[in-house]
Amino acid sequence: MQKNYNNYSLSDLIKIISSDQNRFEVFNQLNDNLQAEVLSKLNKKIQKQIIKKLSDDQLYEIFKSLDPVILYDFIKFLDAGRRNKVLSRFDNHIQKSLKMLNKLSKDSAIGLMSFDYIQVNVNDRIADVSDRIKLHEKRTGKIPVIFVMDKGKLKGYLPIDKLVLAHPKKSVFFFMKKIITIKPHTPAEKIIRYFKNFPHSKAAVVDETGDILGVIYADDILDYIIKKDSITLYNLAGVDNEESVLDSALTKVRYRYKWLILNLATAFLAAFTVKLFDNVISKYVLLAVYMPIVAGMGGNSATQTLAVIVRALVLKQ
């Protein structure tokens, strides 16, 4: 009897697909929304394997529910022909967003923003906005940020709690709040400093003409910080960023062998240094007793230093 993987938790599916050689068959049994969610959580090596095996129709059904920022990472796994063929099915807004991502650094506002928003007019009724939100949620499965516009210009945003409590016939104008705007080329470090001062806030990304490009949530900043610090820590430890705890021993060796060979060379250098003093050690055997103590203390000191450095990376020191 075939298993129904759609009832599995996200963490269990990631473990199964990451470790199972029949991962493509398991992935194919999932519904479109679950496929998109699982795919975004897998490491890049497995993402590439799955995406290359999917048909153009399957790719479109998965990609259409994704933010362009995530979609941008996935389409790079396709060759130019397939990429253009799949992207031609998306609307002009998505294609424009992807072109912009290609021009600007991902370590900027354009790489941090989400496209999970809707625009309403300052004079719209609360009831009309509620209908717009339901349509957006049905399409994407997410509650959007509600940007309030007046003559094509951003005036603020409508908090969800106000939407729930307000009278359906009331105008949006009476409930909107101000929102900070950020240019698409603003460096990530500058944006992080802002969200440190306003941790529960959000910001709108607008271009030079004032058109809205996206929205940045505090959660987006947190994900960026965690990802950056993980990459830095992996590089510090000589581990490949794409390595997973579920990878085979052979895969782990392939990712690490360069650093391990370098470490082996330095270990032989240390052994050679000891050999230079074998006459002294043979006369004073007590020195041999202290050698593992010195090596052990060196290792402990290095571990303590690593802990301090990791803490400094997290705290941006």
Average pLDDT, the chain: 79
Whole-angstrom CA distances from 188 to 37, 53, 298, 307 are 25, 34, 37, 25
Domain range for residue 139? 113-218
- What is the mean predicted confidence (pLDDT) over 32-51? 81
pLDDT at residue 100, rounded to an integer: 67
Q: Which of 48, 80, 103 is the last residue of a domain?
A: 103
Q: Based on the structure, what is the number of domains in the chain?
A: 3
Statement to judge: residues 305 and 231 lie in one domain: yes
pLDDT tens profile 144-164 = 888 888 887 888 888 887 777
pLDDT tens profile 222-242 = 777 767 766 666 666 655 555
- Confirm whether 108 is domain-assigned: no
Residue count (the chain): 317
Confidence of residue 210 (pLDDT cuts 50, 70, 90): confident
pLDDT exceeds 80 at position 96: no
Statement to judge: residues 211 and 123 lie in one domain: yes
Statement to judge: residues 208 and 231 lie in one domain: no
Statement to judge: residues 121 and 46 lie in one domain: no
Q: Return the axis-axis angle of helices 32-41 and 10-19, rounded to nearest 10°.
A: 70
CATH number at residue 60: 1.25.60.10
Statement to judge: residues 97 and 47 lie in one domain: yes
Give this prediction's pTM.
0.52
pLDDT at residue 103, rounded to an integer: 61
Residue position matching structure tokens 């603020």: 156
Rounded CA gap, 205 and 190, in Å?
14
DSSP string, 162-177: HHHHS-TTSBGGGT-B
Residue position matching structure tokens 């795919």: 39
Statement to judge: residues 92 and 181 lie in one domain: no
Q: Which of 56, 81, 103 is the last residue of a domain?
A: 103
Percent above pLDDT 70 for the chain: 85
Q: Which of 84, 103, 122 is the last residue of a domain?
A: 103
Residue 217 phi, psi dihedral angles, 5° rounding = -95, 160
Rounded CA gap, 86 and 42, in Å?
21
Statement to judge: residues 182 and 214 lie in one domain: yes
